[in-house]
Structure 1
Amino acid sequence: MAMPIAVLVSGGGSNLQSIIDRIEAGMLDAEIKVVVSNRGDSFGLTRARNHNIPTRVLLHTDFDSRETFDEEMVRAIRQSGVNETGAVVMAGFMRIVTPVFLEPFRGRVVNIHPALLPSFPGVRGQGDAADYGVKISGCTVHFVDEQMDHGAVIMQAAVPCQPGEGGDALAARILKLEHRILPQALQWLAEGRLELRGRFVHLKPASRNLAIQPSAGVDTDTQALVWPPLEDGF
């Protein structure tokens, strides 16, 4: 049975599209019940409607506190059919959520961040990494907790950085890996293979034979190192 999920977006929704594509290809055992955005002009809403996925727009400016906004998000997600067996995916959702939102979905809220956490949290992860002059950057899929970009790490992908490379160029290469590791992490969640022990996420062995890809050299353009390794074409 497909895992019901709600996807939260604020912008272009390319990570949402990667989830949709994997579902339609039969690779991700999930069903998007609703796409929720805090911005009416989010292109992610258009992506959802193009695939006949229900959408909701909840403008955070219409609420007098983060908590009341989060209460309405919980209500919308539950009404869509996402229950305790489902998950909430933050795919470029530019809002910090409160315990009011997290408690109903504890351990089932996943975020994608365009940096190797705990380095460079926040909205400028790629630009901050480029400006700092790091040699390696990347992206992180993690469980969400009460602190920004802080929850337990599910998987990460690392890409080399070029001296003097701008944030936009680095972001474009990181984005290619975001589109691969987020659907992979969701598939592991759908299969019940992720076990959270404190700050550590353990990946249980697969119950079926898998053609596991190499952990390095996953993408010739990005020269990425991904851990845990991608499986079955992700």
Structure 2
Amino acid sequence: MSPTHPLRVVVLISGSGSNLQALIDGQKRGELPIEIVAVISNRAAVRGLLRAEHAGIPALVLDHTRYESREDFDKALQAQIDEFRPELVVLAGFMRILTSDFASHYEGRMLNIHPSLLPKYQGLHTHQRALEAGETEHGVTVHFVTPELDGGPPVIQARVPVLENDDAETLAARVQQQEHVIYPLAVEWFARGRLRMKSGKALLDNEPLGPQGYLTGTAQP
């Protein structure tokens, strides 16, 4: 199935926006049939906002510290997103725990990328936790967002080896290389109508994906 128009995408960020850049590059090269219609950050003066501006994409800041509660912020964020009429919301390093109402509003049309092989190491500090556990493999997961933190159905995982001399920084860098490969791929699948969420499961070409999603091979060091 080919899209009849570019998929309207809003990207949420909190920092440097390297995954945002991978999506921008894919859009520019014509590999991704998407139009990033807005980038929204909950933090001002982050590099991801500059990446958006350089690409001619509306870049907005919605500072979460100006809201009295998580619920108030999410309501304002939802209103801001919906002004752009997105067909897909992409969380690209958006460092906020979302309320159930917000996650449910976009259920089936919101993706996140998490730097671990889910369901392992939900939450923060995933690379250090993998090292401390003596893992021989680590990686990254793209998944649909549901009200459960990092608990939505996985779409695709990429694995990397954990090397003997790794620290959290070197391991993170190796994982990030794979992030820039699999996130655009998942977005492309969605944009082309191949990827959907139904009854709490991720479907690719109408076939349910396994508990880890689509598995890629282990990247070489």
- Above 0.5 in TM-score? yes
2:210 is aligned to: none
Does 1:47 find its partner at 2:51?
yes
Report the secondary structure of 2:9's partner residue.
strand
Which one of 26, 30, 37 corresponds to residue 41 of structure 2?
Answer: 37
Aligned to 1:109: 110
- Report the residue type matching 1:129 in the other structure: A
SS at match of 1:128: helix
2:29 and 2:188 map into 1 onto residues whose CA distance is 13
Q: For residue 4 of structure 1, what is the aligned residue in structure 2?
A: 8
> What does the per-residue CA deviation read over 1:124-169, in whole Å, with 9 as the maximum and x for residues that have no partner?
1122112222001000000011121111000000111112411110
8 Å CA contact 1:216–1:223 kept in 2: the answer is no
Are residues 158 and 198 of structure 1, via their aligned partners in 2, closer, same or farther at CA, if it must alter by over 3 Å? farther
Q: What displacement does 1:103 show?
A: 2.9
Aligned length: 209
Shift of residue 105, structure 1, vs aligned partner: 1.6
TM value normalised by structure 1: 0.85
Residue by residue, what CA displacement relative to the aligned partner does 1:160-213 show, whole Å, maximum 9, x if unpaired?
1112411110100000000010010001111111233445322107xxxxxxxx
- In the aligned structure 1, how far is the partner of 2:120 from the partner of 2:106? 26
User: Aligned partners of 1:199 and 1:165: how far apart in 2?
Assistant: 36
SS in 1 for 2:190: helix
Match of residue 62 from structure 2? 58
Q: How far does the alpha carbon of each residue in 1:102-132 deviate from its partner, in whole angstroms, 9 at most, with x for none?
A: 2332211100011100101112112211222
Residue in 2 aligned with 1:232? none
When the two structures are superposed, what TM-score results if normalisation uses the length of structure 2? 0.89
Residue segments in structure 2 that go unaligned for 5+ positions in a row: 207-215
Pairing 1:123–2:120 present: no
5 Å matches for 1:130-145? 130-145=131-146
**Higher RCO structure (Cα 8 Å, ≥6 apart):** 2
Assess if the C-alpha contact under 8 Å between 2:190 and 2:196 holds in 1: no
Structure 1 outlier segments of 4+, above 6 Å: none
Give the aligned residue type for 2:25. Answer: D
The 2-side partners of 1:69 and 1:174 are apart by 31
Q: Percent of counterpart pairs with the same letter?
A: 41
In structure 2, which of residues 46, 61, 81 is the aligned counterpart of residue 77 of structure 1? Answer: 81
Contact 2:121 2:129 in 1 (8 A): yes
